Structure 1
Amino acid sequence: MNYSEALAYMKKAAERGSVLGLSRITELLRLMGDPQGKLKTVHISGTNGKGSFGAMLTSVLKNAGYKVGGFSSPAITKVTDSFRIDGCEISNQEFADIIGDIVPICESMDEKPTEFEVLTAAAFELFVRKGCDIAVVECGMGGDLDSTNVIKAPVLSVITNVQKDHSAFLGDTIAEIASHKSGIIKKGRPVYFGGDSEEAYEIIADAAEKNGSELFLPDYSRFEWSESCFGINGADFIYNGEKLHIPLLGTYQLENAVNVISCVEILRHEGLKISCEAVRRGLADVKWHGRFEVLSKEPLIIYDGAHNPDGIRCAADSIRRYFSDKQVALLIGVMADKEYGLYADMLGELAETAFAVKPANPRSLDSQKLADALNAKGLRTEPFAVLAEGVRAAYSYAKEHDVPLIVLGSLYMYREVTDALSGISE
C-alpha cells in the first residue's frame, strides 16, 4: 500500500463516524496479537496540556537513552504527525506500511473500526516494530471509553488537568468529565494528577483508592520562578537549586514542566534511569508545534491552539505577560461546539481588532457567526469565508500597524494557516 491508498482508507474509516467504546479496538488488537501488551507505556489524559507534556517527557526520556514512541491527536500538519519516534514524525511510507498491514484485519471484522481506532492500533504496532523501550500515548478524548484505554498496566497514568470541554460527550460538570478521565487509572499502577480542581481531585482520588493505585500530586515548593523569567525565547526556572530552561512559549508551559519533572521522579521509582542531566537537556531541547509558537518574527505572528475556555484563559495570560505594553490583533477559527461566546470577554481588552475564519473541518463554526458573536461583545471582528484571505488580511494589518498577530483556535487549521503564510512570504 502506498501513502495515497492509506489516506483513502483512512477517509473511508472516518465515514464510520466517532463511536465511543472499546469493543472494536479490543477485537482489532486481539487479531493483531495485542501489540499494546508488549510495550511499557505512559498513558496521558487531561483537558489541556497533553501534547506539550508528552513532547517534554519524550525529549527527557530520549536524552536518558530510551527509544520513545509517541502518539498524539489531533494531527497538527498531516496524519503522520500523530506518530513519532524519539520526537520525530514518521515518514509517509512507514505510515502506509502499517496501515496496509492492518487494513485486511479491519475488513475481516463484522463491526469495522473507526478512524481513530485504526490509528491507535497502528501506533501500538509501530512502536513494537520499531523496538521502542517506552511509549508516550495521549488519549484522543476523555479516558475510560477512549480507544487508547486498552492499556492494562501502564508504567504511569497521567491526568494533566480537568476543565470543561467536549461536553456533548463527557458531560457538563467537572465531576462528570473527571470521572471519564480517571478511567485510565489501572489497578495497582501509579497515577499523577497535575490539575488544581478540588472537585476533579476528589473524583480522581476516589478512583485511585478503588484501584489500589498510589496518587501523586505536584509539589511546587521545590520550584522557583519570577514574573521576569518569561521571554520570547522561552522561560527559565529553578528546580532543587538547579536552573532549567524550556524553549516553549506560553506561561502555562511552566506548569507542564512541573508536571513532567514530577512524573520523572515517579518513573525513577518504577525503575527507569533518568539522570538530572537528561532532564535538563530534554527540557532545553523540546520542540512542539501550535502552542504559542512563533511562526514569523516580522511581523510577529504566534499560533496558539487554545480552543476551550481554560485554553483561552491561559492564552490571554500569556498575551498579557509578553505584550503588556501594546494591544494585539487576533485571527480566530473554532469548532462550532466550543464556547466561543466567551472569547471576547476574555480577550477583548487585549485586542484592537480580530479576523474570523472557518477551518476546513465539517465541525467548524461559520466565520460570520463567529464574527457576529465577537462584535456583539465589543471586539471589532471581520469575517472571511476563505481562510487564506483572512490570513492575508490579518498579516497585512499586523505589518502595517506594527502589532503582534495572535492566531487562536483549533489545531485543525494549523496547516492551513502555515501554508497561507508561506504563500505570502514567497
Structure 2
Amino acid sequence: MDPISARLLARHPQKIDLSLDRMRALCAALGDPQDALPPVIHVAGTNGKGSTVALLRAMAEAAGLRVHVYTSPHLVRFNERIRLAGTLIDDATLNAALDRVEAAGAAHGIGATVFEATTAAAFVAMAGVPADLALIEVGLGGSLDATNVIERPLLSVVTPVALDHAEFLGTDLAVIAGEKAGILKAGARGLIARQSEAVMAAIAVAAAGVRVPLTVMGEAFDAWADRGGLSYQDQERFLDLPAPALSGPHQIDNAGLAVAVALELDLPEAAIAEGLRTARWPGRMQRLTMGPYGETARSVDAELWLDGGHNPHAARALADTLTARQVRAPRPLALIVGMLANKDSGGFFEALKDTGAHVFTVGFEGAAADPEALATVARGHGLGATATGSVGAALDLALRLGAERVVICGSLYLAGEVLGASRETWPA
C-alpha cells in the first residue's frame, strides 16, 4: 500500500456513507474550495466515466488548456486520482492538503470518510493552482456523492448507466439513473450517453425537475466506427476523426460523448482529433508487454491484456472487444479473473460465456471472492474454469495449456496489483 493510502485508512472511516451533510460542513470549514475551481465538467455514470474523462483531458490539453482532473479509484499510487493543471499531484502538495482537511475536520468535529477527505483535499489542492478547466468524476452514485457539493458546473455529463454497487444504489435501474442524474444542475446543460429506454426516461424526469436542457447521444448527436476512424455527427456538423486510442468497440461511444462535450467547449477540431489519438487510460484493455507478466507472455509470443471492468455491463463491453479481436485474428483465449466478493460474478460470466475462453480464477489483497467459489460460478454459466493461487500461476498454466491471448480482468483492484508488479507505470 502506498503511503498516502495508508495515511487515509489510518485516520478516516473506510465506510461508504452516502450523504452530503458532512461534506458540506467540511468544505465550509475549509472556505468552500469547490467554489474556487475553474469551470467544472462533472461526470457521473456506471461505466465509461474514466475513459470519457481521459479523452476529454487529452482533447482539452491538445487545445492548450490547463486541466485539473479528479478520478477514482487509483490503480497503483493514490496520487493518480488528482491532476493539477495536467500534472499528477506530488506527495508534499497532497499531504499539505490532507493536513488542512484533517485540521478543519478536527476543529469542527467532522468525521469525514476516506472519500470525503480525499475529495476535499482535491478541491483544496485544485483551488490553489491556476487552471482553465476541472474534470470531476463522481465516486459513487451522484446526488449524494461527495463531489456533488459542486453547485455550479459548466456542464454535467452522464455516461452509460447500468447495475453496480447494488448494496448502496439498489437494483432498480430507474432509481439508479435518478441518483446519477442528481448531478444535473440548473444553468448547466446535461450531455447524456446512449442509454436504455428506462434509464433515459428517469434522467429526463430528473432534468425536467431542475429545468436542465439535455443533449442526448442517439438523438442530438451520434458517433460510429467508420473506415478505421470515428465519424461524428450532430445537428450542425459532420466530423471525420481518428479512432480513439483506447481499445474496444465501446470506446467509440465514450469518444463520441467526449467529442460532444469538447464541441460544447468550442475546442478546435484539430485538438479533438489529437486528443482521440493520444488519450491513455491504464487498466482498460491495456496491452501488457513489460514486467514479469508481460515478459512471460512475450516469451511464447502470446498477447497479454489487462481490463478493470467489474460489472455485467463492462463484461459485455469486454466480450464485444474480444469477439472483434477473435474475428480479425483468432487465437486460443483465456481469462484470468479476480473479483470483489460483493460483485455480480454471475452476470459478469454470463456476459462472457460465448467468448470461448477458459477461465482461471484468482484472489487478490482485500475483499476478493474465493477463487474456488468464483470458478464454480463461471462453470455455472457454461465456461470452463480452474481455480489458481495467483496471477503468475494462472498465467503460467494458461500458457502451458496453449492460450495465445490472455486477459486479466474482473476488478480494478486486481488491475492495480498487476500494474504495481510491472514496469508499466502510470504516466506522469
**1:315 aligned partner, one-letter code:** L
SS of the aligned residue for 1:225 comes to: strand
**Residue 342, structure 1, aligned to residue 347, structure 2:** yes
**1:208 aligned partner, one-letter code:** A
Alignment of 1:65-76 (within 5 A): 65-76=64-75
SS of the aligned residue for 2:271 comes to: helix
In the alignment, which residue of structure 1 is the partner of 2:235? none
Question: Equivalents in 2 of 1:300, 1:78: separation in Å?
Answer: 26
Question: Equivalents in 1 of 2:119, 2:282: separation in Å?
Answer: 21
Question: Equivalents in 1 of 2:241, 2:169: separation in Å?
Answer: 40
Alignment of 1:209-358 (within 5 A): 209-219=208-218, 223-226=223-226, 229=228, 236-239=229-232, 240-268=238-266, 274-296=267-289, 298=298, 299-324=302-327, 325-358=330-363
Alignment of 1:49-198 (within 5 A): 49-198=48-197
Give, in angstroms, the shift of residue 222 of structure 1: 6.0
CA contact (8 A) 1:24 1:111 kept: yes
Relative to structure 1, is the Cα distance of residues 144 and 241 closer, same or farther in structure 2, using a 3 angstrom cutoff? Answer: closer
Q: How many residues align?
A: 404
CA displacement, residues 357-399 of structure 1 (integer Å, 9 cap, x when unaligned)? 122123x2111210121123332222234xxx33343145237
Relative to structure 1, is the Cα distance of residues 13 and 200 closer, same or farther in structure 2, using a 3 angstrom cutoff? Answer: farther
Alignment of 1:41-52 (within 5 A): 41-52=40-51
Question: Equivalents in 2 of 1:420, 1:180: separation in Å?
Answer: 37
In the alignment, which residue of structure 2 is the partner of 1:393? 394
SS of the aligned residue for 1:216 comes to: strand
CA contact (8 A) 1:162 1:195 kept: no
Moved more, 161-170 or 352-361: 352-361
SS of the aligned residue for 2:317 comes to: helix
SS of the aligned residue for 1:259 comes to: helix
Question: Equivalents in 2 of 1:191, 1:37: separation in Å?
Answer: 20
SS of the aligned residue for 1:288 comes to: coil
**1:397 aligned partner, one-letter code:** A
**1:335 aligned partner, one-letter code:** L
Alignment of 1:376-391 (within 5 A): 376-385=380-389, 389-391=390-392
SS of the aligned residue for 2:309 comes to: coil
% same residue:
29
Question: What are structure 1's unaligned runs of at least 5 residues?
Answer: 230-235, 269-273
CA contact (8 A) 1:13 1:113 kept: no
Question: What are structure 2's unaligned runs of at least 5 residues?
Answer: 233-237
Question: Equivalents in 2 of 1:17, 1:352: separation in Å?
Answer: 36
In the alignment, which residue of structure 2 is the partner of 1:271? none
CA displacement, residues 322-361 of structure 1 (integer Å, 9 cap, x when unaligned)? 1222341001011122111133332233244211112212
Give, in angstroms, the shift of residue 141 of structure 1: 0.5
CA displacement, residues 383-424 of structure 1 (integer Å, 9 cap, x when unaligned)? 234xxx33343145237625110111110112212344569x
In the alignment, which residue of structure 2 is the partner of 1:199? 198
SS of the aligned residue for 1:192 comes to: strand
Question: Equivalents in 2 of 1:245, 1:66: separation in Å?
Answer: 22
In the alignment, which residue of structure 2 is the partner of 1:410? 411
**2:405 aligned partner, one-letter code:** P
**Residue 19, structure 1, aligned to residue 27, structure 2:** no
Question: Equivalents in 1 of 2:88, 2:356: separation in Å?
Answer: 35
Question: Equivalents in 2 of 1:355, 1:48: separation in Å?
Answer: 24
CA contact (8 A) 1:47 1:163 kept: yes
Relative to structure 1, is the Cα distance of residues 104 and 59 closer, same or farther in structure 2, using a 3 angstrom cutoff? Answer: same
Moved more, 304-313 or 96-105: 96-105
Relative to structure 1, is the Cα distance of residues 11 and 401 closer, same or farther in structure 2, using a 3 angstrom cutoff? Answer: same
Moved more, 148-157 or 210-219: 210-219
CA displacement, residues 70-128 of structure 1 (integer Å, 9 cap, x when unaligned)? 11111122211111235542222222222123221122232310000011011111111
Relative to structure 1, is the Cα distance of residues 8 and 244 closer, same or farther in structure 2, using a 3 angstrom cutoff? Answer: closer
Question: Equivalents in 1 of 2:391, 2:14: separation in Å?
Answer: 32
What TM-score do the two structures reach when normalised by structure 2? Answer: 0.89
Question: Equivalents in 2 of 1:14, 1:327: separation in Å?
Answer: 46
Relative to structure 1, is the Cα distance of residues 365 and 14 closer, same or farther in structure 2, using a 3 angstrom cutoff? Answer: farther
Question: Equivalents in 1 of 2:95, 2:391: separation in Å?
Answer: 34
